[in-house]
């Protein structure tokens, strides 16, 4: 494509995107009179019609509070919610629906573990091992616990390609009670050797919490195969609505943990003297849940199952390979893309720097071409410091993106060069 050619969709379209793009109403809109090029799914995904319909139908036909009403629609609402739980159980290979705790998002799921498990099991001198590529959601709850309890935080370093450097893993695990790490980096796309880390942790008697916020929406997920003890993820990055996420935990761990928040729904009995917590999973679900959002997330799981997570992953890898190739060929001199160079070792997240141009300015110029990318520190300031960057621009893909989206990005980057390049 020459620099003067219109931004045409001449590039071949991935079969998957061709089949799915029309399922997402938002992708039919334009921005400033141009078709939207949405490359920010790592922040939140778009929602297919099936999810919108499921939530709409719930409100139109079944809406009632769950678990407490002895009337028909209250029963239907409860069923809808528990059916969704069962879908999520199957989706991540959990042994029982009792292990699937609904919460607001991945952030709340990590906080639940830090608060409930952490405050019960960790004391001064214990260590929690994190990595240099964590999202703030998997850092700050541990900082809070560390300052409250005198728990030591340790950090697995990264190599220059953005892979975890595991050479000192055994030493770092010595005295660690928990390893909490991202299964897929939201900045680098890095997918660490999860099983290897989990096995090493378990050998040393440490538990493993996986931040699956990026992983679960993009990879076939089986908690038994991953070998983790807790898994946190958000619905809104996997075609579901905002305001709903999941904490999965091994049942015996969850059984032994005290409740996180107190209120209705999470109790069996309350007296003036005290309370008796409810059974799993409700013990951790205080108050009226986000029922419509649970239903929407269930529909999102159905939608992704219909595509097949293997196919989702193949699509991501192929489009990431295309993006790495195209962007490097066209902008190789000015462009630095962070993270592992092999598409198979990463998710569809490309953080980049473009010459000396600040990420804010990049995204501002791209916006005028209807190209949506994120700019900033991506809630991973320790990682940004490690990369020696104040901010990066980040393009991330999902099932509805195709090669023409990448071509638009590559082309719009020319305009960034025009405005900010050497004069």
Partner 1 sequence: MAGLEDLYREIVLDHYRNPRNRGELPCPPAQRAEGFNPLCGDEVVVYADVADGVVRDVRFGGQGCSISQSTASMMSVAVKGRSLEEVEKLERSFKSMMSIVTDGGETASPADLGDLEALRGVVKFPVRIKCATLCWNTLTETLRS
Ligand X SMILES: Cc1ncc(COP(=O)(O)O)c(C=O)c1O
Judged by the rule CB under 6 A, the positions of this chain that interact with ligand X are 105-107, 135, 137-138, 182, 186, 211, 213-214, 234, 379
Token digits for 90?
């199957």
Distance CA 184, CA 190 (A): 5
Which of ligand X, partner 1, none does residue 368 bind to, with CB < 5 to 8 Å depending on kind? Answer: partner 1
- Which one, 44 or 326, has the nearer CB to ligand X? 44
Number of other CB atoms surrounding residue 281 within 10 Å = 24
Which of ligand X, partner 1, none does residue 214 bind to, with CB < 5 to 8 Å depending on kind? Answer: ligand X
Shortest Å distance, C-beta 218 to ligand X: 11
Question: Which listed range, 7-15, 95-103, 307-315, 354-362, lies at the site for partner 1 (CB under 8 A)?
Answer: 354-362
Which of partner 1, ligand X, none does residue 401 bind to, with CB < 5 to 8 Å depending on kind? Answer: none
- Which one, 302 or 367, has the nearer CB to partner 1? 367
- Which one, 79 or 364, has the nearer CB to partner 1? 364
Number of other CB atoms surrounding residue 386 within 10 Å = 16
- Which one, 154 or 358, has the nearer CB to partner 1? 358
Shortest Å distance, C-beta 90 to ligand X: 22
| Catalytic-labelled residue, pool 103, 239, 372, 379 | 379
365 binds partner 1 (CB under 8 A): yes
Site for partner 1 in 27-46 (CB under 8 A): 32
Q: Confirm whether 379 is a catalytic residue.
A: yes
- Which one, 64 or 389, has the nearer CB to partner 1? 389
Question: Which listed range, 47-55, 240-248, 301-309, 355-363, lies at the site for partner 1 (CB under 8 A)?
Answer: 355-363
- Which one, 379 or 391, has the nearer CB to ligand X? 379
User: What is the enclosing helix (H) or strand (E) of 102?
Assistant: strand 100-103
388 binds partner 1 (CB under 8 A): no
187 binds partner 1 (CB under 8 A): no
Applying CB under 8 A, among 39, 359, 372, 409 the residue interacting with partner 1 is 359
Shortest Å distance, C-beta 187 to ligand X: 8
Applying CB under 8 A, among 157, 227, 340, 376 the residue interacting with partner 1 is 376
193 binds partner 1 (CB under 8 A): no
Question: Which listed range, 20-28, 236-244, 384-392, 402-410, lies at the site for partner 1 (CB under 8 A)?
Answer: 384-392
Residue 108, burial from CB neighbour count under 10 angstroms (0-12, 13-18, 19+) = buried
Token digits for 292?
């419509």
Applying CB under 8 A, among 17, 280, 384, 399 the residue interacting with partner 1 is 384
Annotate 255-269 with DSSP letters as a single string: HHSPPSS-SSSSEEE
4 binds partner 1 (CB under 8 A): no
Name, in order, each residue with C-beta under 8 angstroms of 421's C-beta and a sequence gap of 6 or more. Answer: 334, 355
Task: Express the helix, strand and coil content of the chain in percent, nearest 5 each.
Answer: 45, 15, 35
Q: In what order do the strands lie in the sheet with 349-354?
A: 335-337, 349-354, 392-396, 374-376
161 binds partner 1 (CB under 8 A): no
User: What is the enclosing helix (H) or strand (E) of 372?
Assistant: strand 371-372
Distance CA 54, CA 165 (A): 44
Shortest Å distance, C-beta 411 to partner 1: 16
CA-nearest of 182, 157, 186, 152 to 169 is: 157
Q: DSSP code of 283?
A: G
421 binds partner 1 (CB under 8 A): no
Residue 159, burial from CB neighbour count under 10 angstroms (0-12, 13-18, 19+) = exposed
Number of other CB atoms surrounding residue 160 within 10 Å = 9
Name, in order, each residue with C-beta under 8 angstroms of 337's C-beta and a sequence gap of 6 or more. Answer: 324, 327, 328, 350, 351, 352
Helices and strands per DSSP (H, E), number in the chain? 16, 17
Q: DSSP code of 12?
A: P
Q: DSSP code of 116?
A: I
The site map against partner 1 for 76-105 (x = CB under 8 A) is ------------------------------
364 binds partner 1 (CB under 8 A): yes
Asked if 176 and 198 count as a contact pair (C-beta separation under 8 A), the reply is: no
Residues that bind partner 1 (CB under 8 A): 32, 357-361, 364-365, 368, 375-377, 381, 384, 390-391, 419-420, 423
Active site residues: 379
């Amino acid at each position: 494509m020459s620099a003067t050619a219109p931004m045409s969709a001449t590039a071949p379209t991935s079969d998957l995107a061709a089949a799915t793009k029309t399922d997402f109403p938002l992708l039919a809109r334009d921005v400033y009179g141009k078709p939207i090029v949405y490359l920010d799914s790592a922040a939140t995904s778009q929602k297919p019609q099936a999810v919108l319909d499921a939530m709409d139908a719930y409100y139109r036909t079944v809406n009632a509070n769950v678990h407490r009403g002895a009337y028909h629609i209250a029963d239907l609402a409860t069923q809808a919610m528990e059916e969704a739980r069962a879908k999520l159980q199957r989706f991540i290979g959990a042994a029982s629906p009792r292990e699937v705790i609904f919460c607001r998002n991945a952030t709340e799921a990590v906080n639940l573990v830090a608060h409930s498990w952490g405050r019960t099991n960790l004391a001064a001198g214990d260590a929690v091992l994190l990595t240099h590529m964590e999202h703030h959601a998997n850092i700050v709850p541990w900082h809070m616990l560390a300052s409250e309890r005198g728990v030591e935080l340790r950090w697995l370093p990264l190599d220059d390609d953005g892979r975890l450097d595991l050479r000192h893993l055994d030493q770092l695990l010595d005295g660690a009670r928990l390893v909490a790490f991202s299964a897929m980096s939201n900045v680098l796309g890095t997918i660490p050797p999860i099983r290897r880390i989990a096995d090493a942790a378990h050998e040393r008697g440490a538990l493993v919490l996986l931040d699956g916020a990026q992983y679960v929406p993009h990879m076939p997920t089986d908690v038994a195969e991953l070998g983790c003890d807790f898994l946190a993820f958000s619905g809104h990055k996997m075609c579901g609505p905002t305001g709903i996420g999941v904490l999965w935990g091994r049942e015996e761990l969850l059984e032994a943990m005290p409740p996180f928040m107190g209120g209705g729904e999470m109790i069996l009995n309350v007296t003036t003297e005290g309370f008796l917590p409810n059974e799993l999973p409700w013990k951790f679900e205080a108050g009226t849940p986000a029922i419509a959002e649970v239903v929407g997330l269930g529909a999102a799981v159905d939608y992704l199952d219909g595509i097949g997570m293997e196919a989702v992953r193949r699509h991501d890898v192929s489009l990431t390979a295309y993006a790495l190739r195209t962007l490097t060929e066209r902008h190789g001199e000015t462009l630095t893309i962070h993270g592992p160079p092999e598409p198979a070792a990463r998710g569809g997240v490309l953080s980049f720097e473009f010459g000396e141009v600040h990420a804010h300015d990049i995204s501002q110029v791209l916006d005028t071409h209807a190209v949506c990318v994120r700019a900033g520190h991506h809630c991973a300031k320790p990682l940004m410091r490690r990369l020696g960057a104040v901010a990066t621009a980040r393009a991330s893909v999902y099932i509805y993106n195709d090669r023409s989206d990448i071509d638009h990005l590559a082309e719009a980057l020319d305009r960034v060069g025009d405005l900010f390049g050497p004069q």
